[in-house]
Structures are given as structure tokens and as C-alpha cells.
Amino acid sequence: MLQKVANFIQDQCLILPGDKVIVGLSGGADSVALLHILKELRGQLKLELFAAHINHCIRGQEAINDAVFAEDLCKSWNIPFFLKIADIPELSRRLNLTEEEAGRQVRYDFFYEVMDKVKGNRIATAHHKNDQAETILHNIIRGTGIQGLSGIKPIRDGCIIRPLLVVTREEILDYIKMHSLSYREDATNADLTYTRNRIRNRLIPILTREYNPDIIERLYIMGNIIREEDEFLTDYCSKVYRELCTLESGQIIMHLNKFNACHGAVQKRLVRLAVSKLRGDLDGVGYDHIDAVVTLARRSRTGTRTLVPASGKGCPVIVAEVIYDKLIFRKNNDETPVEYYDELLPVPGQVRLEKLGLIVTAEKWDRKKSLHFSSQCIYIDEDAVKGSLRLRQRVKGDRFKPLGMNGSKKLKDYFIDMKIPRDERDRIPLLVDEENIIWVVGLQLNQDYRITGSTKNILKISIEYQRDNGG
């Protein structure tokens, strides 16, 4: 078995010469065997070895005895030992997690803490073939996709390694017996309250006895096959994602037609990628959420949207919406609508629209000076202005005469033609006088206020953005 594990480590590139490896040592047979194997391979693999143990405060004196055993074992084998005591029952209540979830979170946080302390680069856990089979069955029972069917990876996140995945629990117990190794029994492993224990102690024995005596090996091989195919799909979809997506102002924007041309399986992976990049993870994101985004994109109705929910870990709600030829993903910041504004613009003078992060300045302009039109600066015929200048928000029924047109146009239709998202329209101020819209700020000038050869007096209107206001 020692050579079998050594070959697996080499084939999977789990440990390289000079690596510092932290072993999660519970004191049970699996982790004791793992620590012993790595100790035996220490010279061959040129690694440094450390052990980390957590007292979960679940089993009273038995848990204390486990910690004493683990520490004594490491002293006898000359392996640096680290201990953490964590009240998992209290933590699970406080975080609204199961004890299994809370314990796992604390364990890995502690392993990373130890890795940082010793400047390590590998965390080794004692998962084996039976664990692989249990994980795959557990995922099937809960409902899963191709990633869940692939089970436990030999290496995860570039540093968490599972050197024993190539051996069964029976092989580990034979190894323990051959080397006369002591270990601790965890009574909670027989507690059928836990789903995983019921799978281990009830379901797998039935499957082995009545359906397939080689079920552990079959599930292990299936996991390997599916994981290989999943890795190919992940790599392929990452390339497609880079071709289809851009990141603009914190939003992920996909080309809608190209997205809809992709196979449905690829579409779902692209959505998962976009959501995970904005959220940080996919915790709490299910098939229905992903499918709702795909359905939204296929219908391609501009202005429609769906929400991907937040998670218990603080990940934000994600909004997926179709805006013309784009599928847009953004965090839902729950911005309140911009309050209606209507501000006098003195000439000369300026007005600050604080909620828009905008300063608008009006000044008289010498006709002899050159004119530099841009999206942030216009020049108008002062004599065409009727009364005072104001800056206001759009209102229902607004019309104006875009530059180059003879007749007027509904402002709403103009926004639609310009593909301005509905949520952004209230954030676009209008420069008006007492009768007309003079400038859709940053976008379009009114034909009747343009500079002509007969213009005598000129006003320069310019804007300055003070911050990124998201609109």
C-alpha cells in the first residue's frame, strides 16, 4: 500500500520536493495511516511534515483524549503538532449551520492558519475510496450535476491533497494492523443522525450485498471518468466565456446572440461562471436559478430580468437582465430610485446634482473662440433660450427635436432607439428652458438651439462627473 500511495502522489503531482505538508490528524485510523505513510515517504519525497488537530467540543472527555493521543503520537514521530479547541455546537447555532458544516468550516480555516504559520503549501486529508463512494451517493441523493458526480478531487484549490483516494478503507485497516499502529475510535461515526453515516453504515452495505459487491470501486472509477470530462468542459467553457464576456463598471456583459447560439450545457456553465465571479461562490445557487437565467436569455425580451439569490455567507443577490443585444449580470445594490430633481442653472454659474455626482456649468462664450463639442460640452444659441435654464429629471410625455430632425420625437422613443437601459433613464438629466428640452445631457442637442451662421450670442454648457455613479 505504501508504494501504491507513493505512485498516486507522483502520478497526480500531489507533492513536490521541498513541499511543507500539514496533515489533518483526527486520531482515527485513516488520518493515522496517512501521517505514518507520509512520515515513511518523507525522505523519498523530500517533504516537511506537520500535523493539525481540532477538538470540536462535541464528545467531552473523549475529544480531550483524542487530542492527547494525537499530540503524543506526533511527539513520538518527531512531527510538529498544532491544536485548536472550537465549540462547534455553539458555533453551529450562532451561524445557523449544521454541526457537520460548522466543523468543516473550522477545520479548514485552522488548516490554512497552520499552513500560513509554517509557510507551508499543502494540506493533506485522509479521504479514501470509500469516502469517494459516499460523497458521490450523497450528492446523488441531494441532487447534483456532473461536478457532484465527479466526487472528491485528488487536489483542490492548488493545495488541498488527498493521497489516500487510491485505497479503500479495508486496505487502510490492513496497513494499520501490519504496522501495529494505534488509533482512536470516534463514536459519532456510528450515529445515524448524520446522513453520511447512514450512507456508510446502511446504504453501501445494501448496495454491496444485493446489487454490486464491487460498488466502491465502480463508483470510484465513475468519479474519475466524469471528473476528467468535467475538467475538459470547464476548460472549454472558460475559453468561450472569455470570448463572450466583458467586465464594465462591475457588470459582466455577455453578447446575447452568441450566448444563445451555444449548446444548453455550455450556456448553464457560462451563467454559473458569471454568477460565481460576481458572488465569489455558488453557495445556495441551484439548477432552477441557473435555468431561469438561460430561459430569460432565450426569450430575449429587453428589460426582463431574474434574480439569483444571496447566500448565508453574505454573497449578494445577482441580477441577470436582458438589455437589447446583451445579457447583463450585476450585483443588486438595492439602489433607491433617484428622487425627482429640478434645479435652476444660473448664467453664468453652475449647479451640483449631488445624487448623480454631476456638476453642470453655464457660461457666456466669445464667438471668436473655437468650439469644442463633446458628450460633456455643448454650445447653444443664447437668443433661442426662452426664459431661465433648468436641469430636471424626465417626466411622462417629454418630447424634443433631436439635432438633424425637422419634427419632434418622444424622449422615451429616443432612449429606446439609443438602447438606454430603463434603470438608467432617470439618471440622465435634461437641460430645459421654459418651453423645450435643449439637451439630453451627454447624448443629444435640440435642433432649434444649434449654433448657426446668424447666431450672435453663445452659451457654453459643460458637465463634470465627480464620481462613478453606476449610471
Cell of 21: 505538508
Task: Mark whether 65 and 160 lie in a shared domain.
Answer: yes
Residue 241 lies in a domain: no
The pLDDT of residue 199: 94
pLDDT tens series, the chain, 471 aa: 999 999 999 999 999 999 999 999 999 999 999 999 999 999 999 999 999 999 988 888 998 999 999 999 999 999 999 999 988 888 888 878 888 888 888 999 999 999 999 999 999 999 999 999 999 999 999 888 898 999 999 999 999 999 999 999 999 999 999 999 999 988 777 778 778 899 999 999 999 999 999 999 999 999 999 999 999 999 999 999 999 999 987 889 999 999 999 999 999 999 999 999 988 888 878 888 899 999 999 988 887 888 888 766 667 788 899 988 899 999 876 555 678 889 999 999 999 988 788 899 999 999 888 888 888 899 999 999 999 999 999 999 999 999 988 899 999 999 888 877 777 788 899 999 999 999 999 889 999 999 998 999 999 999 987 644 443
CATH code assigned at 183: 3.40.50.620
Quickly tell me which residue has 483526527 as its cell: 26
Q: Supply the pLDDT for residue 287.
A: 87
Whether residues 125 and 256 fall in one domain: no
State whether 213 and 262 are in the same domain: no
In a domain, 242, yes or no: no
Q: What predicted TM-score, i.e. pTM, was given to this entire model? A: 0.69
Question: What is the full DSSP assignment across 141-210?
Answer: HH---HHHHT-S-SEETTTEE-GGGGS-HHHHHHHHHHTT------GGGG-TTSHHHHIIIIIHHHHHHH
Provide the CATH number for the domain around residue 358. Answer: 3.50.40.10
* Element at 462 (helix H, strand E): strand 458-465
Query: Do the beta carbons of residue 297 and residue 323 sit within 8 Å?
Result: no
Q: Are residues 321 and 427 in the same domain?
A: no
Residue 19 CA to residue 90 CA, distance in Å, equals 36
Residues 179 and 30 occupy one common structural domain: yes
Q: What is the pLDDT of residue 374?
A: 86
| Residue 243 within any structural domain of the chain | no
The amino acid that residue 3 corresponds to is Q
What's the maximum distance between 2 C-alpha atoms anywhere in the chain?
105
- Please indicate, yes or no, whether residues 311 and 351 belong to a single structural domain of this protein: no
Nearest CA among 69, 68, 63, 4 for reference residue 32: 69
Q: Measuring CA to CA, which residue among 316, 249, 237, 265 is closest to residue 467?
A: 249
- For the chain, the domain total comes to 3
The CB density around residue 59, as the number of other CB atoms within 10 Å, is 14
Say if residues 278 and 330 touch (Cβ distance below 8 Å): yes
Q: Are residues 181 and 33 in the same domain?
A: yes
Measured between its terminal Cα atoms, the distance across the chain in Å is 62
Domain interval for residue 321 = 249-331
Of 424, 398, 392, the closest CA to residue 410 belongs to 398
Q: Which of 122, 134, 132 lies closest to 225, judged by CA?
A: 132
* 52 shares its domain with 18: yes
Same domain membership, residue 436 and residue 307: no
255, 217: one domain: no
